[in-house]
Structure 1
């Protein structure tokens, strides 16, 4: 079932007298429960797509649907609710509140939502129940990213959007985070979209969207996604 749909989406930015095309008539779809990887070089337009889908930014042309809802027509107030209730974000840098514990960071997200998951159970699901009383400064980079993922999941969102989620992590820790995201997709049925410049990661995806120069250069369906443990880069 088509869960996320982009139809002829365009996004322009003005740089002085110049108009920059960040998204150039983008069309693709993602099914519910897919682990989707959007891949391309820096500056290709990947983050622009993620920001538009996540309601952080808006498109100038075209239509975007999530679960049958026309997201691209939402006003500012509706977009605020959409970001709050429907979208979980995981960024390259963890954006944790430094004077709150791991558990309190997760609770912060669960408190603003209609149908949140239990904060401690969510922290447990990412393997951090024993670090719940630690502050971010007392956690490793990988642990902080796990808290950030738990925070996003505690909202019980429709989709999980991950922008270079392993970019600030070492190789082994990055692999653990990708496995956690893949397991989350498989175990919860959440639709997960990961943005990366690393083409090797595409082997673990159900669906791959290649972006170059603001356009879709290729799309692939992967019949046999592999576990991240089998991937080397």
Structure 2
């Protein structure tokens, strides 16, 4: 039984008179502890899949199962609980609270969880042990994204979902963030899903799901994923 399973998932949006099918019978499985990249051009349906998987949106058809639980049949209250306890989100923009320190930003997320990790320990894990008391404005873009990742990890989630996590960063910083995500997956057995339009980073994943026009175009498996340091783009 796969840890995460999407089976024939459909999501439609009504835009005035027009119905847009953003996810068109999407199916795939992900195992526990896998590092997965969902790749595809802008508008392919990647973010829709991530939003459905993260409980921010409900699907219109099909089934979604995460760790044996039928997420696709959850009520809105159950989805809120699922988002709170089971999912860590990392977005392109860091969404930090500007008048809280790095430590306080992470503690804020940890407070709403059942079994959180220590905020200071997680910030040290992401390489910010000496920046705990800095405010976001005193941190570089890469450091702010590390705080955002620490905030997601402190929840001790079942699943870490990352939407273009390096989109606002330069090449070197982006690479260091991807290494952090890859290391976190390997060292902590965390299931990590990254969506991106950058096909060059595909070799770092255990599994690459190519999405096109709201459908799964193909799924590639990498028996021996490449360390991110060895990938150039």
Hey, what's the Cα distance between the residues in 2 that align with 1:113 and 1:14? 35
Deviation at 1:103, TM superposition (A): 0.2
Hey, what's the Cα distance between the residues in 1 that align with 2:198 and 2:217? 16
Hey, what's the Cα distance between the residues in 2 that align with 1:202 and 1:64? 24
SS across alignment from 1:22? strand
4+ aligned runs moved over 3 Å, structure 1 = none
Alignment correspondent of 1:217:
217
Within 5 Å, give how 1:2-81 maps onto structure 2. Answer: 2-81=2-81
SS across alignment from 1:115? coil
Alignment correspondent of 1:151:
151
Gaps of 5+ in 1: none
Alignment correspondent of 2:126:
126
Hey, what's the Cα distance between the residues in 1 that align with 2:180 and 2:199? 19
Hey, what's the Cα distance between the residues in 2 that align with 1:99 and 1:144? 13
Hey, what's the Cα distance between the residues in 2 that align with 1:150 and 1:2? 27
Deviation at 1:232, TM superposition (A): 0.6
* C-alpha distance after superposition, 1:150-188 (max 9, x if no partner): 000000000000000000000000000000000000000
Alignment correspondent of 2:91:
91
Hey, what's the Cα distance between the residues in 2 that align with 1:79 and 1:2? 20
* C-alpha distance after superposition, 1:69-104 (max 9, x if no partner): 000111111110000000000000000000000000
Deviation at 1:121, TM superposition (A): 0.3
Gaps of 5+ in 2: none
Hey, what's the Cα distance between the residues in 2 that align with 1:46 and 1:33? 20
Hey, what's the Cα distance between the residues in 1 that align with 2:192 and 2:90? 10
Q: TM-score, normalised by structure 1?
A: 0.99
- Alignment coverage as a number of residue pairs: 233
Matched, 1:175 2:175: yes
Hey, what's the Cα distance between the residues in 2 that align with 1:6 and 1:190? 19
Hey, what's the Cα distance between the residues in 2 that align with 1:189 and 1:230? 22
Matched, 1:196 2:225: no
SS across alignment from 1:2? coil
Deviation at 1:219, TM superposition (A): 0.2
Deviation at 1:129, TM superposition (A): 1.1
Q: TM-score, normalised by structure 2?
A: 0.99
Hey, what's the Cα distance between the residues in 2 that align with 1:112 and 1:13? 31
Deviation at 1:2, TM superposition (A): 1.1
